[in-house]
Structure 1
Amino acid sequence: MKKITLLLVLSLFMSCNSSAQKKENEQKEDFPVTKTDAEWKAELSEMEYYVLREAGTERAFSSALNKNYEKGVYHCAACDTPLFKSEHKFDSGSGWPSFDKEIEGNVAFSTDYEIGYARTEEHCATCGGHLGHVFNDGPKATTGKRHCINGVALKFVSEDNNKDE
């Protein structure tokens, strides 16, 4: 009898575990570009992988893009989707590239409870890569939003490069 009970408890535990894994996999497949962890690791630098695929955060003031004031478009470093225009970039003083507006439809949002309270997390809508978070303390004269983005998650394409294409 003890063996049967143990077997039932074990099978219940295993079925719960696989449901969670299925849910996690389904969420990853909601994006048009999906790759295995091995494929992402082969394509991205260690820091890009940490931020984009593991929802990490780069050190404040470490990105050259934080003080980039050229005209152009900021793309996803993983899949090259255009995410933010330079005209919407501002110096928030936070140490990360900040924008008051995203390119609509190219950024996806979810709720993140990682640090104990709800924050709005931003992802690339094409590959699901973690970009950063959006806060309601941006410029009041425009949207009031501050998209606080990890520079390593971005690839800058200058306006001059776009004209050549």
Structure 2
Amino acid sequence: MERCKKGETSAFSALYHLHSKEVYNTIYRLVPHTGEAEDLLQEVFVAAFQAIHRFENTGGFRAWIKRIAINHSISWIRKQKVRWVELEDKDSYLKEEESIDESEFVFKVAEVKKAIDQLPDSNRTIVQLYLFENIPQEEIAQILGISYNNVRIQYHRSKQKILKSLKEGGVA
């Protein structure tokens, strides 16, 4: 990091090669368009290297650059006019008959990925941030500018849609 702060290009290159695949995967989960994800990857590393002097090693470079990647991805999604709508509070509780027993399902990763990819962009974003980036729902609400309750409801509904799609074999 000190070499990067001094402007050594070989240090920048080493950091890029060390982290680019993981950062790309983070971006691609949120922006499932190869070309756009590749462009965002470059933008993320440019932004990180331009701000490297502000980097404090509190959480490590990996966490810092992944946060930049998530923020750039969310910005890209917003530019695509994806809107997160507030859902009515009446749906905030779960009825016993609405729950799905997940333990009876065994699926291949590709089937689950296809089921997630079929979700609307706003729902897919919440699922990706929560499940794969391990961001707490409260923080997702702040990032997306929506209520925590809305994130919770959308996540639950998305999970039900995914499980229903997998159970019915509706994944194309």
Q: Could you state the TM-score of these two structures normalised by the residue count of structure 1? A: 0.29
Q: Computing the radius of gyration over CA atoms, which structure comes out larger, 1 or 2?
A: 1
Which structure is higher in strand share? Answer: 1
Report which of the two has the higher share of helix.
2
